């Protein structure tokens, strides 16, 4: 038995979050125990037509459900908790996380109304929990949401440190600096593997402190003394919101929260005591509109220009309660997540058109990142001094830069492992190597359907969105399969039919001739007839329009 145990290796299985930004999830497996770190989702890229959300493929976890001792969640951002309502439909291990993360997960679960109870256990930094053969200690970090933790996982073959998302903030808003002492303690003891956040691995220096943003807000509260101030930021950035509330208090302004997630998250955070706000300072949107401008701050969602968000509607003049007017000051306190730039700039352009003063990241330090830059990454690497290193949380270029950084610091390139989704890293005290893989990848969520939209459906959606749809209705006689009426053609998103009567007429003719010329043995072969209609029309329409709409033949027999 003991001998057998010595042969067991620790398996590190990234199920998401590497070679991509989003849907973070990593499994640690040893013998009969699996521990899962994070359970995130990702917004779909533009080529995923109509898909709402992308989540990790967890078929490996479902297959080994009885081995899973727990999920530990590093913090409450969507790329770390967003997949929980989907993944937990088939498995149900306990979840461990800090207080705010717990509240955000529970509010999410309530929304999805899952039939079974999911146990979300609250822990504090420096707590230790035993989960199967793993012992996990939670380490306080700084990030753009409260309650972020790194994890030190003691395993039978050595300690694994996973940083979660982090930065090193020496002047954080809550006064609690990342627990560097604990990182150092593990470094002294010996760390087998470090997995560390690579998001900003391309950036030199240090990430600025969150309190710098507070100083910048102060400046604009002074400058915009007689103006109404509207600030858009992420609802989850409680420290940012705290700084706005503090400035508002100091300048004698009331605060109005706008947008569903802003109201929801600030409500939760205030209840937990994570957000310090006097209820008397909070006003409704109606009040915000009727009060003197210089006495109001509106804190809203929509910093990514998302359609229907608070700021989007304000910029579009689409909020029935609050109307922006010339001279109002809007601060967009966020940077555009890659892919969102166009939406953000559209909103900013619309705000300028309203005569509003707009301050955004390109103009001033109204935002700082929540992720560590090179110097901070080096600090964690040197404090923990790991035997092996695996960069995580980033696209390939970020992971690569992080790996190069570790190499520069003297880590042997053979001890650095570039992760891939599903690729298993096996290690013991003496060696580490990639060995095999597990089924892994992406599952697409569309409305209530999880994973039921495959490549064929996506291809159809692409064709529909690019070239439209042509429906061909053919009515055949039940007696001799002859055409009873002229074929009918309807199109959507292809061409304007009234202006293209010749094209439609000729298309009808093609279908009519095709049916009249059918060989006797094909008269009732509907799949064959449909295919012929599709092929012949496709060739004709392409020749005439250089477009390939989706062609949908329908045959009715009466």
Q: Which residues make up the interface to Zn ion (CB under 5 A)?
A: 77, 79, 165
Which one, 165 or 376, has the nearer CB to Zn ion?
165
Phi and psi at 493, nearest 5°, equal: 70, 15
Give the span between the Cα atoms of 218 and 212, in whole angstroms.
Answer: 10
DSSP 126: T
Catalytic residue among 57, 165, 179, 197: 197
Q: How far is the CB of 200 from Zn ion (least distance, A)?
A: 12
Give the span between the Cα atoms of 184 and 202, in whole angstroms.
Answer: 24
End-to-end CA distance of the chain: 75
Give the span between the Cα atoms of 127 and 100, in whole angstroms.
Answer: 16
Q: How far is the CB of 73 from Zn ion (least distance, A)?
A: 11
Which one, 165 or 446, has the nearer CB to Zn ion?
165
Q: How far is the CB of 391 from Zn ion (least distance, A)?
A: 14
Report H helices in 298-393.
Answer: 310-315, 341-353, 374-384
| 53-56/25-30 β-pairing | unpaired
What is the widest separation between alpha-carbon atoms in the chain? Answer: 88
Q: How far is the CB of 143 from Zn ion (least distance, A)?
A: 6
Which one, 79 or 467, has the nearer CB to Zn ion?
79
Which one, 101 or 350, has the nearer CB to Zn ion?
101
197 belongs to the catalytic site: yes
Which one, 256 or 421, has the nearer CB to Zn ion?
421
Q: How far is the CB of 79 from Zn ion (least distance, A)?
A: 4
Give the span between the Cα atoms of 529 and 523, in whole angstroms.
Answer: 8
Return the ∠ at Cα 419 (arms to 417 and 420), rounded to 5°: 145
371 belongs to the catalytic site: yes
Catalytic residue among 143, 367, 371, 411: 371
**What sign has the CA pseudo-torsion 343, 344, 345, 347?**
positive
Q: How far is the CB of 199 from Zn ion (least distance, A)?
A: 7
Q: What is the DSSP string of 11-66?
A: EEEEEESBSBSS--EEEEEETTEEEEE----BPPPTTSTT--EEEE--HHHHHTGG
Give the span between the Cα atoms of 186 and 256, in whole angstroms.
Answer: 45
Which one, 356 or 390, has the nearer CB to Zn ion?
390
Q: Which residues are catalytic?
A: 197, 371
């Amino acid at each position: 038995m003991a001998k057998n145990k010595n042969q067991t290796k620790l398996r590190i299985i990234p199920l998401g979050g590497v070679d991509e930004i989003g849907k973070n999830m990593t499994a640690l497996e040893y013998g009969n125990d699996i521990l899962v770190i994070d359970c995130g989702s990702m917004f779909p890229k533009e080529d995923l037509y109509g898909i709402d959300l992308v989540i990790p493929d967890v078929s490996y976890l479902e297959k080994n459900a009885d081995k899973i001792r727990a999920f530990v969640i590093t913090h409450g951002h969507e790329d770390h908790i967003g997949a929980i309502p989907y993944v937990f439909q088939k498995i149900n291990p306990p979840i461990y996380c800090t207080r705010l993360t717990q509240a955000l997960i529970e509010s999410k679960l309530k929304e999805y109304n899952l039939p079974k109870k999911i146990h979300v256990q609250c822990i504090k930094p420096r707590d230790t929990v035993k989960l199967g053969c793993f012992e996990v200690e939670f380490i306080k970090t700084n990030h753009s949401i409260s309650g972020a933790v790194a994890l030190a996982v003691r395993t039978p073959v050595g300690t694994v440190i996973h940083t979660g998302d982090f930065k090193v903030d020496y002047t954080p808003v809550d006064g609690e600096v990342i627990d560097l002492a604990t990182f150092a303690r593990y470094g002294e003891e010996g760390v087998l593997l470090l997995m560390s956040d690579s998001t900003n691995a391309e950036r030199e220096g240090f990430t600025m402190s969150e309190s710098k943003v507070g100083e910048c807000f102060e400046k604009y509260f002074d400058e915009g003394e007689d103006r109404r101030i509207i600030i858009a930021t992420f609802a989850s950035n409680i420290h940012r919101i705290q700084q706005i509330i503090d400035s508002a208090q100091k300048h004698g302004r009331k605060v109005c929260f706008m947008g569903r997630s802003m109201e929801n998250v600030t409500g939760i955070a205030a209840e937990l005591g994570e957000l310090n706000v006097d209820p008397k300072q909070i006003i409704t949107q109606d009040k915000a509109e009727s009060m003197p401008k210089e006495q109001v701050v509106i804190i809203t969602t929509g910093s990514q220009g998302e359609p229907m968000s608070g700021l989007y509607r304000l910029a579009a003049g689409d909020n029935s309660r609050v109307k922006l007017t010339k001279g109002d000051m809007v601060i967009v306190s966020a940077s555009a997540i890659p892919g969102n730039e166009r939406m953000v700039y559209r909103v900013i352009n619309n705000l300028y058109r309203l005569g509003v003063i707009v301050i955004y990241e390109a103009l001033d330090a109204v935002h700082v990142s929540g992720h560590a830059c090179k110097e901070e990454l080096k600090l964690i690497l040197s404090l923990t001094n790991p035997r092996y290193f695996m960069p995580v949380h980033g696209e390939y270029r970020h992971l690569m830069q992080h790996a190069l950084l570790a190499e520069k610091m003297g880590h042997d390139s053979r001890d650095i492992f570039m992760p891939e989704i599903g690729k298993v890293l096996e290690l013991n005290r003496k060696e580490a190597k990639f060995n095999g893989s597990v089924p892994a990848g992406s599952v697409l969520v569309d409305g209530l359907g999880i994973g039921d939209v495959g490549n064929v459906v996506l291809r159809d959606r692409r064709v529909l969105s690019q070239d439209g749809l042509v429906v061909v209705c053919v009515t055949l006689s039940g007696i001799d399969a002859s055409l009873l009426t002229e074929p009918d053609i309807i199109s959507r998103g292809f061409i304007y039919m009234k202006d293209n009567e010749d094209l439609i007429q000729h298309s009808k003719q093609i279908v009519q001739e095709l049916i009249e010329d059918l060989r006797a043995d094909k008269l009732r072969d509907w799949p064959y007839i449909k295919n012929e209609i599709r092929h012949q029309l496709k060739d004709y329409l392409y020749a005439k329009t250089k477009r390939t709409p989706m062609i949908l033949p329908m045959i009715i027999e009466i």
